[in-house]
Structures are given as C-alpha cells and as structure tokens.
C-alpha cells in the first residue's frame, strides 16, 4: 500500500486527510465500517480491493480510471474482464456521497477501502 500512498501530489492522501471536510463525519472510519461489513459478507473482497488499487495506480498515479464504464474503457480490456470489487467500490462511493456529497474522490474511496481491507485482515 506504500506505492498507493505515493500516487498523490502535494496534498497526499494521509490518515485524517478528510477530517473536517465532511462535517462531523469521519469518512475514513465510515469507509472502514462499510468495508468491514463487506468482508463479513464476502472475504474475497480483500483481494479484489487490493488488485483494483494496483490496476488503478500505475505509472502516472491513481485516477480511478479502472472504475469508468463504457465501450473503450479499462474495464473492457481483456486483462481486466475478471476484476472483482468494481461494484463494491461503486456501492461504497454511493454511501459516501450520501453523507459527504462531492468531496471524496472515487480514487480516494478505492485507496481508503483497500487500506481498510488490508488492516482488517492483518
């Protein structure tokens, strides 16, 4: 996950990055709890989230491009056809948007979820 942490510019994602940006909501804790519940339902989500984060965070950083849908997107590439967890990240993002609309990026949701998954199984 260190590689993932290096994918950001001057305002690098760090523990507590969203503190105070979403009212009284602790977004990292919120995502942590959602991931925790998803792991209870399907433990395979851990490897899915880690794999997604590495597919998304490549040479020039993280951009959530793996989450884009459409005919000529990364999701449609043969190598990515069996990627799991895309729907889960979408669900987590929707839940985050309900409590903190327009603030937390898809990339950050993916990275925070992957970090939470690694922590929860270590």
Residue 12: the pLDDT is 64
> What whole-number distance in Å separates Cα of residue 61 and Cα of residue 32?
23
**In angstroms, how far is CA 59 from the centroid of its own chain?**
18
Give the pLDDT band of residue 121 (cuts 50, 70, 90): very high
Catalytic machinery residues? 55
Determine phi and psi for 13, rounding to 5 degrees: -65, 130
Compute the mean pLDDT over every residue in the chain, rounded to the nearest whole number. Answer: 84
Give the pLDDT band of residue 29 (cuts 50, 70, 90): very high
- Write the class of the CATH domain 19-121: mainly alpha
Q: Tell me the domain boundaries of the chain.
A: 19-121
Determine phi and psi for 5, rounding to 5 degrees: -65, -20
pLDDT tens-digit series, residues 46-93:
999 998 888 777 666 777 787 788 888 777 777 777 788 888 999 999
């Amino acid at each position: 996950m260190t590689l993932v942490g290096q994918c950001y510019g001057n305002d690098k994602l760090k523990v507590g990055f969203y503190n105070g940006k979403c009212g009284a909501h602790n977004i990292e804790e919120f995502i942590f709890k959602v991931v925790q519940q998803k792991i209870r339902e399907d433990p395979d989500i851990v490897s899915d989230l880690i794999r997604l984060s590495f597919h998304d965070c490549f040479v020039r950083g993280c951009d959530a491009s793996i989450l884009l849908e459409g005919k000529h997107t990364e999701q449609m590439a043969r190598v990515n056809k069996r990627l799991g967890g895309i729907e889960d990240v979408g669900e987590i993002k929707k839940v985050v948007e309900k409590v903190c609309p327009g603030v937390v990026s898809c990339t950050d949701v993916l990275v925070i979820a992957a970090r939470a998954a690694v922590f929860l199984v270590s």
